[in-house]
Chain A
Amino acid sequence: MKPITELIKDLADLHGRDRHSLLPILQGVVEQEKYLSEYSMIEIARELDLPATEVFGTATFYSFLEYKKMGRYIIRICKTITCSMKGEKQILLAIEDMLKIKVGETTPDGSFSLLQTNCLGFCHKAPAMLINNDVFTELTPEKVREILSEYLNRKNEGGQNVN
């Protein structure tokens, strides 16, 4: 993991320092940090010579650019119509039960955050969820417990980030 200021500088070198480079830079920070801290938004503003409010205003518009501290694995469960019809609630309960957190919370060790999201585009394989950038479909409570166990094992084996 790069220190945040260095990361921002590298991202700006890569994408440029124009306004239209802002989103890729924000995404790059979220990719590593999982969220945008106030500090990183101010640093991005400094690097791009923009008012920090502009950076904050833009970042907070997008649901995948979190601005609260998140866990290393962000679980996003689709709650839109087809997934909701096909048992999204049971999936949610299974995860809440396993990780002992509610929607919007992060496990105390900082490894998992649980969120709901709008249509993921897997309605034909509902219910679906994302863990970071990986998609899991046709979920059942059993299947989701298996998936999470795998992530938990990975975490215990030294925390290699799968993405």
Chain B
Amino acid sequence: MSTNYQLKRADFIFKDENDWEEVLKNNINRPPNELINELISSELKGRGGAGFPTGLKWKISAEEVNDVKYVICNADEGEPGTFKDREILSKVPFKVLTAIAICGHVIGAKIGFIYLRGEYFFLQTELNKAINEFEYYCREIKFDFSIKIFMGSGAYICGEETALFESMEGKRGEPRNKPPFPSAFGYMGKPTVINNVETLAHTYTIFKYGSKRFYDLGVQYSRGSKLFSVSGDTPKPGIYELELGMSLADFVDEFGDDDTKAVQVGGASGFLVPRKRFNETNIGFQGKLVGISLPTGGSMMLFNSSRSMFNVLDNYLNFFAEESCGQCTPCRVGCQQLLRGIKAVKRGEKNAQYLDKMLKLAETMQFTAKCGLGQSVANSFSSIVENFREEMIY
């Protein structure tokens, strides 16, 4: 396996820096435009998985004319195999709070929210303590900003930004049609910046050290570092901050158990990469000229040769069938049909060609489902069925 690109560790997010007061004070005295340009030149892209350029997101909301705007920190971390956001909120909450407030300063919002998933209820007490201390300091420096926690109640789909707004508005967490986008029409119909916890934590680094420090990490199109949640068949599961752009082969060299058969990059909604493709697969955003680039919210699940890929896919599809909000037909019915279909093939009630029909169904879901959940079912479904077809049949 290739070893010419060593894994490059980074240590920004969890670095113990007790200087948030200074970072906050310095940055809310800088003009919003300067901060936006700093973000844009860092080329930071959203760390929740979708990879939208953060600077652009802030810029669009900043340009909206409205008396009321909101900043929301998306802590509805529900993607299977992801657990980094909880760690950020419990270890370095002040970095996130500071970033939320700086974003408020940039776009002109006075209120920030943290949408915390119900499973993380136990974080609430400590986080509220941090918020109280933070707001106390804001009052001291006469900076008008408040932050509230909004608790989720166990719904994966609420991590989708518009479903999250619906949920906060007291409704079923059903995604909205886009456009309009959150930057213009978000929570309560107001311009809203919604960022993943980790994205906000990175903006703290950028505002503190300048964009160059961040930009110098990673590779073209995939700048900076990223937290990876490593789990599955690995001797060292956990959370690691690495520079983007590494090859999957190097990743497996470091984290595999010498028997790695496949890696699921990006959680159940991401792609399964079989061993034969480790060398040509890079971890980062699309746009590299050579090889395949896979973006990820940081979920890296390793499977060794003892694992049945049928069981893996069965587990994912059960997950999607349960977590589909049920609003649009391609996703609601599609997830159920894919789940029934693979079982029927396995039992021999359907022949192997039925798998090809299901691949077409998955493709249809990709094009017709309303939101990212339904659209991304095809990622794992197709990559598993195409690479491990024999395991689906026998």
B-binding residues in A (CB < 8 A): 18-24, 26-27, 57-58, 61-65, 79-82, 84-85, 117-126, 130, 133-135
Contact = CB atoms under 8 A, between A and B. Distances in A.
Contact of A58 (B150, B170, B233, B322): B170
Given A26-B153, A118-B322, A123-B83, 14 more contacts: A19-B170, A23-B170, A24-B150, A57-B172, A62-B155, A64-B118, A65-B154, A81-B316, A82-B81, A119-B79, A119-B319, A123-B82, A124-B237, A135-B122
A23 B149 CA distance: 12
26 contacts: A19-B171, A22-B170, A22-B171, A23-B150, A23-B168, A27-B118, A27-B151, A27-B153, A61-B155, A61-B325, A62-B118, A62-B155, A65-B153, A65-B154, A79-B315, A79-B318, A80-B315, A81-B268, A82-B80, A85-B232, A117-B119, A118-B322, A121-B78, A121-B86, A121-B117, A123-B83
B312 interface: yes
A121 B120 contact: yes
B103 to A, nearest CB: 21
The secondary-structure label for the interface of chain B is: mixed
A16 to B, nearest CB: 10
Contacts of A26: 153
B278 interface: no
B301 interface: yes
A21 B167 CA distance: 10
A80 B119 CA distance: 14
A21 B170 contact: yes
A120 B119 contact: yes
A84 B315 contact: yes
Nearest to B79: A119
A130 B117 CA distance: 14
A27 to B, nearest CB: 6
Contact of B151 (A24, A121, A125): A24
A67 B79 CA distance: 25
Contacts of A57: 172
Given A85-B232, A123-B237, A124-B239, A62 B173 contact: yes
**How many residues of B sit at the interface, in one of the four size bands?**
35 or more
A86 to B, nearest CB: 9
Interface string B347-371: 0000000000000000000000000
B180 to A, nearest CB: 19
Nearest to B117: A121
B231 A126 contact: yes
A61 B172 contact: yes
Interface string B65-84: 00000000000011111110
Contacts of A82: 80-81, 231-232, 301
B156 interface: yes
B323 interface: yes
A20 B170 CA distance: 4
Contacts of A117: 119, 154
A122 B122 contact: no
